[in-house]
Amino acid sequence: GEDVEQSLFLSVREGDSSVINCTYTDSSSTYLYWYKQEPGAGLQLLTYIFSNMDMKQDQRLTVLLNKKDKHLSLRIADTQTGDSAIYFCAENLGYSTLTFGKGTMLLVSP
């Protein structure tokens, strides 16, 4: 199968860390991505990780990849209200087409 699964909702307080989890099923995926979508907008690429990496850090964002369990996570440090959005995990399959999860809605309260 080619299903990417994510929890649907996460609520955190401003200043806390947020962790969004994703599981994927295709071990041949070469890249795994995290996208952010704000209301009424398109998709903004946040970060990506190559399948031979375990971790990637980019400012407040940390991506962890567990290939054995096909588990991907996105940690946002010092979460701000502007981080409130829907976050999509996506895997890169043949010919660079992306398969997305249903998205995790992150709500950051002051």
Partner 1 sequence: DAGVTQSPTHLIKTRGQQVTLRCSPKSGHDTVSWYQQALGQGPQFIFQYYEEEERQRGNFPDRFSGHQFPNYSSELNVNALLLGDSALYLCASSLVSGGEAYGYTFGSGTRLTVV
Q: Which stretches of the chain bind partner 1, using CB under 8 A?
A: 4, 30, 33, 35, 41-45, 88, 90, 94-103
CB of 47 to partner 1, least distance (A): 12
Residue 40 φ/ψ region, left for φ over 0, alpha for ψ in the -120 to 50 degree band, beta for the rest: left
* 104 vs 110: CA distance, rounded Å: 19
Identity of the residue, 88 or 108, whose beta carbon is nearer to partner 1 in the bound complex: 88
The residue (of 4 and 74) whose beta carbon lies closer to partner 1 is: 4
The DSSP H or E segment spanning 105 is strand 104-109
8-state DSSP, 95: G
Q: State in angstroms the smallest separation of the CB of 28 from partner 1.
A: 13
